[in-house]
Amino acid sequence: MQKLVIEGGKPLEGEIFLHGAKNSALPILAGTLLCDGETVLENCPRLTDVFAACRILTHLGCRCTVQEHTVTVQVRDLCADTIPEVLMQEMRSSIIFLGAVLGRSGSCHLSYPGGCELGPRPIDMHLDALRQMGAHFSVHGGQLDCTAPEGLHGAGIHLPFPSVGATENVMLAAVLAEGRTVLHNAAREPEICDLAAFLRGCGADISGDGESTIVISGVRKLRGSRHTIMPDRIAGVTYLGAAAITGGTLCLRGVSTQPMENMLPVLEQTGCRVFPEPDRLHLLAPRRLRAVPFLRTMPHPGFPTDAQAIFMAMLSLADGVSVLEENIFENRYRHVDALVKMGAKIRVSGRIAVVTGVRSLSGASVAATDLRGGAAMVLAGLGAQGKTEVRQIAHIDRGYEAIEQALQGVGAKISRVETAPVSESAGRTDTKTCRIGKH
């Protein structure tokens, strides 16, 4: 077990190089299952979720190699179409392997995914869409058994909500399916576009990504390719928020500003000055942040739910009253109790949170409740007076690569501390490979 220890009250100043996007890397790693030969993914972040995805690939019969920020995946014949529960529970987005395994093997057996507890994240949309493509599903003892007896085929699909995961699963299932799939009300997130770009580089026929209708014409096979993962826009706004809450200045390197265009205006509303350059983004924070009258999370191109906790931490030290409305996940205010413990003034009623800025926060011992909530606690600790300890940081490590090292590099007094010995066998997974022919 580890924790982060933070001595707050010090303005950040310097440069941070932005790592690759978790929410892009995971579906692309699943997509490598569909490609014959070798796929090389560059700018792949070194995150526990990425390592969990690699363990799933290895279990299924792929050869996975991780060297610094490059992941190489070799696919010949899959040796399994079943993902054990222990691997599924390691990351909440593991359901993304459903479309890829089903598209490659014609069958897939898995349990429900793990990860952050953000309330119901039903996969009904995933299953309904895949049913329209010829898949059959049954549930036995918590295991989901999926088959496509006559193979997957194209279909006209309309999602009731622009779900990112359902959009990715349909794309992954459709690229090798017979015929054309037209997906209406598709998610429009930049990570969807990155997945589409990767699949096109492997030989897929996809158009319309970034818009509400995506068209996929199935092809006979995909080949391995080389692809660079896009920068992580949520990690980027987290580090900008860290500079903002401390009254500092920051330069983000390796960043693309276009995917962040739905968040940068909100930073400017708080009084921050933002200066974009090619491959760089500069932020100059005011002495005191200003409140944001109203902030609503919505599907892209609206304000992202993943950034809500980050901005709540910032607004807890802003002058005035901010109102936040969470429309994506019902349990995405679980970080509020920790912020209140540190002195924040926040009232929650259903989907609405009212944040009245206070003059100062005080360091406290808190526990990360989920990935972005944990990051919000780190930001609050950086802006607080005194010492903050953030426990259960395994949540944070799912989406931030050595967050303490990045922050230390810009002057933060933060360190990672071991709190108890960890067994060598803890979390070890059997990753033997085998070959049993094509499915």
Residue range 292-305: average pLDDT?
97
Residues known to be catalytic: 116
The reply to whether 327 sits in an annotated binding site is: no
The reply to whether 279 sits in an annotated binding site is: no
**pLDDT tens digits, 281-294:** 999 999 999 999 99
Confidence of residue 142 (pLDDT cuts 50, 70, 90): confident
Phi first, then psi, for residue 301 (nearest 5°) are -90, 20
Pairing of strands 70-75, 63-67: antiparallel
Q: Amino acid letter at 197?
A: A
Residue range 101-109: average pLDDT?
94
Q: Is 307 helix (H, G, I), strand (E, B) or coil?
A: helix
Confidence of residue 112 (pLDDT cuts 50, 70, 90): low
Residue range 89-94: average pLDDT?
80
Please say if the pLDDT value at position 130 is more than 80.
yes
Please say if the pLDDT value at position 409 is more than 60.
yes
Q: Where are the domains of the chain?
A: 2-19+231-418, 22-216
**pLDDT tens digits, 318-362:** 999 999 999 998 778 999 999 999 999 999 999 999 999 999 999
Task: Compute CA 297 distance to the chain's CA centroid, rounded to the nearest angstrom.
Answer: 16
The reply to whether 262 sits in an annotated binding site is: no
Whole-number Å distance between alpha carbons of 351 and 353 = 7
Identify the pLDDT of residue 65.
Answer: 96
Residue range 17-26: average pLDDT?
97
Backbone region of residue 373 per phi and psi (left: phi > 0; alpha: psi in -120 to 50; beta: other values): alpha
Please say if the pLDDT value at position 431 is more than 60.
no
User: CA 208, 209, 213, 217: dihedral to nearest 10 degrees?
Assistant: 60
Q: What is the sign of the dihedral through the CA atoms of 425, 427, 433 and 439? A: positive
Q: How many CB atoms lie within 10 A of CB 413?
A: 15
Contact 32, 204 (CB under 8 A): no
Least confident range of 115-119, 195-199, 255-259? 115-119
Q: What is the sign of the dihedral through the CA atoms of 348, 349, 355 and 358? A: negative
Domain 2-19+231-418 has CATH 3.40.640.10: no
CATH architecture of the domain covering 22-216: Alpha-beta prism (3.65)
Please say if the pLDDT value at position 51 is more than 50.
yes
| Same fold: 2-19+231-418 with 22-216 | yes
Length of the chain: 439
The reply to whether 92 sits in an annotated binding site is: yes
The reply to whether 328 sits in an annotated binding site is: yes
